[in-house]
Amino acid sequence: MSENILKRRGFYIPAAIIAIILGIYYLTRYVDFLTLPFLCIILIIVTILEVMETKQIKSKENILKIGAAGLLVGLALWYQVTVFII
């Protein structure tokens, strides 16, 4: 997959940046309570793609990346529960 992105990066990278900016704008403007889950999903996808590309899932560096992403997702879930549900 990374080979395709490198070959056509002139299209993929600007399209991804525009989609993320428009998605965040829409979520923060109209659907505020979905912003953190949306960003968490993006974080999980990017982390998984980065870890899978190295093919060394159990290395110390990759475990730290996965742990940091998990911690941020946990904090976001805690924030969602305390602010929007309680």
Q: How many residues does the chain have?
A: 86
Provide the pLDDT for residue 6. Answer: 62
In DSSP notation, the chain reads -HHHHHHTHHHHHHHHHHHHHHHHHHHHHT-GGGHHHHHHHHHHHHHHHHHHHHT-TTSHHHHHHHHHHHHHHHHHHHHHIIIII-
Provide the pLDDT for residue 3. Answer: 63
Averaged pLDDT, 58-76: 84
Averaged pLDDT, 55-69: 83
Q: Is the pLDDT of residue 7 over 60?
A: yes
pLDDT tens, residue by residue, 12-61: 778 778 888 887 787 777 766 777 777 788 888 888 877 877 777 778 88
Averaged pLDDT, 4-8: 62
